[in-house]
Amino acid sequence: MAIRLGDTAPDFEAASSEGTIKFHEFIGDSWCVLFSHPKDFTPVCTTELGYMAKIKPEFDKRNVKVIGLSVDSADSHKQWSADIAETQGHAPNYPVIADPDRKVADLYDMIHPNALNTLTVRTVFVIGPDKQVKLMLTYPASTGRNFDELLRVIDSLQLTAKHSVATPVNWKDGDDVIIVPTLSDDDAKKKFPNGWKTLKPYLRVVPQPR
């Protein structure tokens, strides 16, 4: 069955470039980014895994674990790592799941046979500490993802989890946010005692809470 936002991310045990992973145990009390790439030793994937390693400290800062996946073996992931370091300046500093039998890929519906027969397409799942799926993305093999966008979304998700706010179009950290429509004005007064700007009764703008 297809995974949807709000579902519990399926648990699994699998080999990885850093040993056996028990997925829910791996996530622990953190957030998690699980991302698949089509194949080791391919060009776009090489740039993606290198860039993810470069910005991993930004995920660490936000208490987010990062984990990759493809339908290659752990040995293949380890061998490829040297090429990634050589060409991108950063070797993967996060585990990459080895899924040659496509157990995890099938569990997460990462193979879209009409797009890419037996390989995983570029999916991303952001999972919360409650193990619920908070975001899903699917990109074709030919388009490298924007991993900076994941940081922006995680900032928004973490803000929503802590405060009763949503983030507007193209929001970035520090910009004004929106009070969620489900919060009444009376309850909003308690949360935002310094007030807010009402553009419409359903569009209430407030400085980003810290």
In the complex, the smallest distance separating the C-beta of residue 95 from ligand BEZ, rounded to whole angstroms, is 19
In our burial notation (b when 16+ CB lie closer than 10 A, e otherwise), range 48-83 reads: bbbbbbeebeebeebebbbbbbbbbebebbbebbee
Residue 105 CA to residue 120 CA, distance in Å, equals: 7
Least separation in angstroms between residue 48's CB and ligand BEZ is: 7
Contact with ligand BEZ (CB under 6 A): which of 30, 42, 73, 93? Answer: 42
Stretch that binds ligand BEZ, among 37-45, 96-104, 159-167, 198-206 (CB under 6 A): 37-45
x/- contact string, 156-195, with ligand BEZ (CB under 6 A)? ----------------------------------------
Burial of 134 (0-12, 13-18, 19+ CB in 10 A): buried
> By CB under 6 A, is residue 127 in contact with ligand BEZ?
no
Answer yes or no whether residue 141 interacts with ligand BEZ by CB under 6 A: yes
Question: What is the rounded distance in angstroms from the CA atom of residue 26 to the CA atom of residue 35?
Answer: 15
The Cα 63–Cα 157 span in angstroms is 13
Place of tokens 């993606």: 48
| Residues that contact ligand BEZ, how many (by CB under 6 A) | 8
**Shorter beta-carbon distance to ligand BEZ: residue 21 or 141:** 141
Based on the residue annotation, tell me whether 45 is a catalytic residue of this protein: yes
Residues near ligand BEZ (CB under 6 A):
38-39, 42-45, 141-142
